[in-house]
Amino acid sequence: MGKYVIRRLLQMIPTLLGATLLIYWLNFSLPGDPTAGRCGERPCSPTYVAWFNHEYNLDKPFVVQYLLYLGKVVQGDLGTDFYNHSVLHELAIRYPTTLKLALIAVLFEVVVGLIAGIWSGMRQGKFADTFVTVVTLLLISMPVFVLGGLAQLIFGIRLKWFPVTAGATAGFYELLMPGLVLGALSLAYATRLTRTSLVENLRADYVRTARAKGLSRFRTIGIHTLRNSLLPVVTYVGGSIGALMGGAIVTERIFNVNGVGSYIYRSINQKDGVGLVGSITCLVLVFLIVNLIVDVLYSVLDPRISHD
């Protein structure tokens, strides 16, 4: 197992390098002028444009730009963005907020998703099952910006349960509604997956054995069926963290959350390669680590899978 983890950690290096190259190149290929709009209503002076392009290496060919950037990264410096702020510092401010947001979303997804999925699976074909199916279908078919807007309107403006937007310094309470909206889609899928998996496993031979052993219904489902049913759900939840990261860009914009998502949005808008690559690569790193944890967890949950 230790060997496996080390191998996976080493594999992350080329993955991360590849990610930086790809994002840098994508950003380089974007049309548009980063200095447009920097000097108010009128165009920037040629001296400023020349200084700006030189300062941020924009006058150099792509490969040189990229290598210069990489050289800094290797020294632990993620560079400075177009506002002349250290990217590392900007991320350090914003990461806690986004992590809090993601944590709320994942908790929501896992806790509510599992409970609803199990409830629905145990009452297959009954009202509870139909109810959960309809609600999840609704969540799946609704785009996040519609869901976010609706949540703001109903819970923020009408009912006044939550603040409509999160603002600069957001705590758990302010982030609760954005987190729930962010987790809603993954929640719907996790619920359905749990339900299907449970229903499938309830028909399994070993569940019949468990009943023949004289075990209670609680033990039959809670211990013998659930452990097997949760295997695909664990895989899905691990993968969904990536989707949450992507979703955070939209959700943070809707609720005006000052997190990594907003920073990425701003960087894309301004064609700010250094800011963009640094922030996205950090997301990729989180995603890789979560996936490693899921894979390790998987071999613990399912003894048939071995990493040795």
Partner 1 sequence: MADMYDEGLAMVEATGRGTIDLEQSAARLLKPPSRREMAKRPSIHGTVVLDDHHTWTPTDGRLLTVDDLHVEFRMREGVAKAINGVSFHLDQRETLAILGESGSGKSVTAQAIMGILDTPPGYVGQGRVEYCGVDLLTLAEKSRQHVRGDQIAMIFQDALSSLNPVFPVGWQIAEMFRVHRGMNRSDSMARAVELMERVHIPAAKQRVKSYPHQFSGGMRQRIMIAMAIALDPAVLIADEPTTALDVTVQAQIMDLLKDLQAESGMGLILITHDLGVVADVADRIAVMYAGRLVETAPVGPLYATPHHPYTLGLLESVPRLDSKLGDVLPAIGGLPPNLLAMPAGCPFHPRCRYARAECGQGAAPELVVTEPGRAVACPWWDRLEANHE
Residue 193: CB minimum distance to partner 1, A = 18
Q: Which two tokens stand for residue 57?
A: 């290496």
Residue 215: CB minimum distance to partner 1, A = 6
Q: Which residues within the stretch 248-307 sit at the binding site for partner 1 (CB under 8 A)? A: 301-304
Residue 122: CB minimum distance to partner 1, A = 14
51, 88, 66, 57: which is closest to 19 by C-alpha? 66
Residue 60: CB minimum distance to partner 1, A = 56
Per-residue DSSP letter, 259:
S
Q: Between residues 135 and 202, which has the closer beta carbon with respect to partner 1?
A: 202
Q: Between residues 228 and 256, which has the closer beta carbon with respect to partner 1?
A: 228
Q: Which two tokens stand for residue 283?
A: 């997301």
Q: Residue 44 in contact with residue 38, Cβ under 8 Å?
A: yes
Residue 235: CB minimum distance to partner 1, A = 15
CA 5 to chain centre: 22
Q: Which residues of 251-261 are buried (b: 16+ CB within 10 A; e: fewer)?
A: bbbbbebbbbb
State yes or no: residue 70 binds partner 1 (CB under 8 A): no
Q: Show the binding pattern over residues 148-187: x = contacts partner 1 (CB under 8 A), - = does not.
A: ----------------------------------------
Beta carbons within 10 angstroms of residue 93's beta carbon:
14
Residue 167 DSSP SS3: strand
Q: Show the binding pattern over residues 198-237: x = contacts partner 1 (CB under 8 A), - = does not.
A: -----xxxx-xxxxxxxxxx-x----x--xx---------
**What's the residue count for the chain?**
308
Binding site for partner 1 (CB under 8 A): 203-206, 208-217, 219, 224, 227-228, 301-304
